[in-house]
Chain A
């Protein structure tokens, strides 16, 4: 058991961290190549290469989503629960943008409502990614594999939705990455060993710390022994 000030909590377990790597290696290249395909900034060969990378990364993303959903259904359920539960805290948090504008631009902290494991901004991102991501996966595979057999009007609207929802989620993802790096402790937890100090977790996710975590077996034994 670590000292009081150095106590750590496992925030992201291995399966969730691996899935996040799946998103980094699958969704991120798909988003970047999606922008290239849309804007066509280079030669025809360059855009063609971008489309091939887009398909390859979408394949990786699809595999990651399927494996994570099957092997870690409890986390999927927990995620759906989290993004579906909105309280007055969330509305108040959204009204002040989580205090991030104050922190980043004005360099001062304002009181914000206590958050669970996901703050309200992450919940919004979760809602967009969950529904939009499913749409992108299905529409993408329809455009890739079934374009010759589905009605042209349907293809037009599927393509329209794939483009604009993809662009929206791409922009959201870049904002998510920026704020993720800003929250360095959580970023290190997600791409490191999954842990952060209890102090940091209490600062960002007080409701989660209060209600949803418990001491490990080893910690409990140490507490009893002392």
Chain B
């Protein structure tokens, strides 16, 4: 147990100072929480709208298989040669990225 003879006088926090600290902290946290939840809500909304649009397109589509898709076949004939060709691989295929690597 520490032994001491003098101690700092108690700090008197005025009402104004209390309101300043709590007000600024509250405003920052509330704004931050509002913006964060707003962004997440917007993102979820856009993902749902996008999924809905894709399903609607699928329902309306007359051709639902890519190998029967005339436009796609034409694209391969005139441009990308054939599925899995080097150019198709380069342009259409994604690569695996390990998202657990944070650094």
Q: Are B10 and A8 in contact (CB under 8 A)?
A: no
- Counting contact residues on chain B (CB < 8 A from A), the size range is 20 to 34
CB neighbours of B102 from chain A (8 A): 48, 51-52, 55
- Interface check A106, CB cutoff 8 A: no
**A48 with B101: CB separation less than 8 A:** yes
Q: Are A2 and B5 in contact (CB under 8 A)?
A: yes
Q: Which residues of B contact A (CB under 8 A)?
A: 2-11, 13, 17-18, 21, 25, 28, 32, 36, 39-40, 42-43, 100-103
B103 lies within 8 A of A44 (CB): yes
Taking the closest CB of chain B, its distance from the CB of A39, in whole angstroms, is 11
Number of interface residues of A (CB under 8 A): 47
Q: Tell whether A194 is near chain B: CB-to-CB under 8 Å.
A: yes
Q: Which residue of the partner chain, among A2, A8, A50, contacts B103 with CB atoms under 8 Å?
A: A50
Decide if B39 touches A150 in the complex (CB within 8 Å). yes
A-B contacts, CB under 8 A, total: 98
Give the residues in chain A near B39, CB-CB below 8 Å. 146, 149-150
Q: Please tell me if A76 contacts chain B, counting CB pairs below 8 Å.
A: yes
A213 within 8 A of B: yes
Q: Given A146-B36, A148-B43, A149-B43: A219 and B5 within 8 A (CB)?
A: yes
Find the B residue at minimum CB distance from A48.
Answer: B103
Does B103 lie within 8 Å of A213, measured CB to CB? no
Contacts of A47 in B (CB 8 A): 103
Best-buried of B11, B21, B101 by chain A (most CB within 10 Å)? B11
Q: A146-B39, A149-B43, A150-B39 are in contact. Are A10 and B103 (CB under 8 A)?
A: no
Q: Report B-chain residues with C-beta under 8 Å of the C-beta of A208.
A: 8
Given A48-B101, A50-B103, A138-B32, does the pair A74, B6 have CB atoms closer than 8 Å? no
> Is A119 an interface residue when CB atoms closer than 8 A count as contact?
no
